[in-house]
A and B are shown apart, each in its own frame.
Chain A
């Protein structure tokens, strides 16, 4: 590969996914941002779980409409963000949702040129 075609690809990235009831995502995003997340992607979904199985009549209070948050974080911060989300989303209450994270092989996004240069990237010579 020629040097001027180089792009910056980041490793040691982790994807945190959090599924909460519709309308709760904003609070979760706030907590995650405060914990160091750069941003979040939210999409709508429907889902079922403990609502039908365990909660009985109380299950009506759990909305089947969900919001799914994707947060990509550096692995060093991921555990911290993970924990903060757990607390902010009240995941210790049944029916509130779930949270998981997985390692990402690679990710790429905008990296400020001066930062990229520091890591040996030849800025300004790209495509």
Chain B
């Protein structure tokens, strides 16, 4: 390459021959390129192939992550419907389109949250606790928890859930969902806010999780007992406890954790390796209580819902289905803008900092809004119809509809339905990316005593049993109260017996499992099922599905402790 053989030298090095034949290199001095580049500093011209090379790997990894959660679940539902129940899926192409929108929407949304919101939250969580008085931090925590709830993708499903209810049988529940859905969402937001405040206090004062869980759970159960014994309030219980599961999704959890870690660091380090967990726990208990309180207020305020003029209901019911993309965009904007505004205000006025990387944050916010709009579209044409359909046709396995005969003998049909419910619960949980991440953390923190796979299996089994129980509740029209009391009594006993690390872990796993795909699907499934078997309301599956893993994880924790005690 560099040595010139010269005309007098007959020999030629093989390498130089190769260079001459194969390599087409133009040698240019880097010095000159550097000078050139400095004099005209402008962005490089990207060809289409460059865009493809940059974007395709980036997008496909993120899209596949969502697809792994959505596709198996949807396929299973469709297969069960066609194979076991022999009913074809109606509006199949629309549902497929909806599923695509859900996956694409979640992909965009998660990326948007990562770039648009998380840098703020991390910065604020890191700096605010050291710079501001505790009261300010707590106020901010309350607002953050509440407002993040509005931005949770699954909350849209809750707003849409009221349309199929029968106002004559569950008047106040119907009223709350159709006429005052904002109150419901506000109650949930306030509940999450209160939970976040308590979680922060726990970080500051190093309260034990066990004490805190018992102190919060007992009033929640007391409120439930009060509501459950009142026939006007009893149907609301299922919804109230479902709300807890809805709230702890992919927006609230990382935002709140970012703040919590900052607060924990400012308060001094802990000896308990798992103390970072625990906030999510409270965020699924408080909303239940808040919704019950709102319902109590509603019953006092409107003693006779039947007397109210019914004009609003027609509008809401129609709006659920007939939404244009514009409406979805506005909804998404309304969900995300307050959160961005809050974070920006805190950054600007509490920390006195300006934005770094404005372009990236703008990208994040725009992407999040776009993603959420798409997700909402997918929710209403894909996820909810699929769940609703499945719920509608499942009872035909054991229930004779319109004078026909049931497909299977009663006991077998019910068993099949419960197995179906359990499989959905198990499958949805195993696919949840958040649970996998949590499993890795737990395995590291416990030095392998609690392996990742064991955690995932324990949680999934718990969810499966919970889902089956919730479906059984709807089929047999059991009242919610005894189920709740029974499940949480077992959880309480296990909690008292367990050590603090596993208490935080188990109670958190309840919240981690219910992601933005599972929630709408299961909610719609329950409502459809409730309608088909003629139950008063179809809520409660999610509530049971989040109580299940608490018990199963605590039980596994107790078993691990017993085993290691026997070894030593």
Contacts and interface: CB of A to CB of B under 8 A. Distances in A.
B518 to A, nearest CB: 28
Interface residues of A, number: 22
Nearest to A59: B360
A58 B359 CA distance: 10
Interface residues of B, number: 24
A96 B19 CA distance: 25
A111 interface: no
Contacts of A57: 359-360, 363
B50 A94 contact: yes
Interface string B24-53: 010000000000000000011010011101
Given A58-B51, A75-B15, 8 more contacts: A54-B43, A55-B54, A76-B14, A76-B15, A79-B15, A79-B18, A90-B53, A93-B50
Given A54-B44, A93-B49, A79 B19 contact: yes
B476 interface: no
B58 A61 contact: yes
Nearest to A84: B22
B55 interface: yes
B1 interface: yes
Contacts of A95: 54
Interface of A: 23, 50, 54-58, 60-62, 74-77, 79-80, 83, 90, 93-96
A95 B55 CA distance: 11
A83 B51 CA distance: 22
A83 B23 contact: yes
A93 B54 contact: yes
A60 B14 contact: no
A96 B53 contact: yes
Contacts of B140: none
B2 to A, nearest CB: 10
Interface of B: 1, 13-15, 18-19, 22-23, 25, 43-44, 46, 49-51, 53-55, 57-58, 115, 359-360, 363
Interface centre among A74, A79, A90, A95, by most chain B C-beta atoms within 10 angstroms, is A79
A61 B54 contact: yes
Contacts of B14: 76
Given A54-B44, A76-B13, A79-B19, A62 B54 contact: yes
B54 A80 contact: no
Nearest to B45: A94
22 contacts: A54-B43, A55-B43, A56-B359, A57-B359, A57-B360, A58-B51, A58-B54, A60-B115, A60-B360, A61-B58, A75-B15, A76-B13, A76-B18, A79-B1, A79-B15, A79-B25, A83-B25, A93-B46, A93-B50, A94-B46, A95-B54, A96-B53
B118 to A, nearest CB: 13
B49 to A, nearest CB: 7
B536 to A, nearest CB: 49
Given A61-B55, A80-B18, A94 B115 contact: no
Contacts of A96: 53
A22 B28 CA distance: 29
Contact of B44 (A61, A83, A94): A94
A79 B363 contact: no
A79 B23 contact: yes
Nearest to A96: B53
A111 B117 CA distance: 57
A89 to B, nearest CB: 10
Contacts of A75: 15
Contacts of A94: 44, 46, 50
A35 to B, nearest CB: 10
Contacts of A76: 13-15, 18
Nearest to A94: B44
A83 B46 contact: no
A50 B43 CA distance: 10
Contacts of B53: 90, 93, 96
